[in-house]
Copies of this chain bind each other. A is one copy, B any other.
């Protein structure tokens, strides 16, 4: 029993993403709830910010022409008033309105106040220390572009414009179907020989939520083509389906054949290690990621296929991965022709420098090795490995 064809990791991802269409649905969100969401609209400023001429300094609003010739040895005297006119200035604070007649603000430091008179020791040009209307944001200006991922600082900008609601892209919904007759629901009972608790579905569920999706975790499905088909059929109302387990070429591996019978099997067998048994398909326009049941292979399939698929569906902009550069403490050998994900632990021998220690175990079944790992060193197909002492990029595990 062998894979008919092994598709390279990059090509498999490319084929899969090409088949996926971004979600069209929008929804309204209050700005407080929109952190991390994707704007579904260009947001145009409904007002100017500031909407009035504001003082940029504590000091006195003046007519600039009244300060002509003023200097540290040649002060000018102005009357202190409320309105500003020739010979009269008015007290202003940073942010307060600049009275009509004034065209500049003189810093407090350059003045001395004598009761109702102000002695001015510097000359200012018109517009000095005056924030004009619309200086920050002009009415009609686009402040947030469609497709932008909203951050707290963006939300503050919206709030400053008096905008309280925004249209955001709907979160993609993802059905997660764990399969395998060896699986037992957690909390159910003590395990017998040959049984394990279902954990891949849980893990996929948490990652998808972390990456911006909404999840629906299906109950465990046994290794039976009809049952798998039923589970997929009942999940086609979601935007993506992740099936865990049953993706290899063993006697009990029915998932890829079921996907093929219901739609299109795009890829079965990927040049990725661990993760070779991964399969990808489309059913009724819905992407289907078949992640291997071995947990480490499963997490690699989630990272390599499910995350970019989720982001394409949800119009979530590709963000740079969380990475650090580290010096390899031991050489790494990779599997020829496979994009190899090596788990490493990071040490910080001195501030700002990282050392990556490859985790010895190679078993794709050893979930604890992921838990011990801080990240992956990803080795391309055409490279044999990495030498001890080499600087490598470590992709941190979310």
Report A's interface with B, CB cutoff 8 A: 1, 32, 35-36, 49-52, 54, 56, 58, 93-97, 108-109, 131, 135-137, 143-144, 151-157, 159-160, 162, 164, 180, 182, 186-187, 190-191, 193-194, 196-200, 202-203, 206-207, 209-210, 248, 250-252, 293, 295, 299, 319-320, 322-324, 363, 365-368, 370-371, 396-398
Contact = CB atoms under 8 A, between A and B. Distances in A.
Contact of A160 (B156, B180, B197, B210): B197
A371 B143 contact: yes
A194 B95 contact: yes
A367 to B, nearest CB: 5
Contact of A153 (B155, B248, B363, B371): B371
A295 B203 CA distance: 39
Closest 7 CB pairs of A and B: A152-B206, A52-B193, A156-B203, A97-B193, A156-B199, A159-B199, A153-B370
Contacts of A191: 51, 162
A343 to B, nearest CB: 10
In this complex, which of A32, A49, A97, A206 has the most chain B Cβ atoms within 10 angstroms of its Cβ?
Answer: A206
Nearest to A190: B162
B397 A365 contact: no
A49 B237 CA distance: 37
Contacts of A319: 322, 396
10 contacts: A58-B250, A136-B363, A151-B397, A152-B210, A153-B203, A155-B203, A156-B295, A157-B370, A160-B196, A320-B323
Nearest to A209: B35
A250 B105 CA distance: 15
A366 B323 CA distance: 31
Given A136-B365, A182-B96, A155 B196 contact: no
A178 to B, nearest CB: 11
Contact of A367 (B54, B108, B153, B186): B153
A164 B186 contact: yes
Given A153-B397, A156-B367, 7 more contacts: A97-B194, A136-B363, A144-B371, A156-B199, A157-B367, A320-B323, A320-B396
A136 B371 contact: no
A251 B93 contact: yes
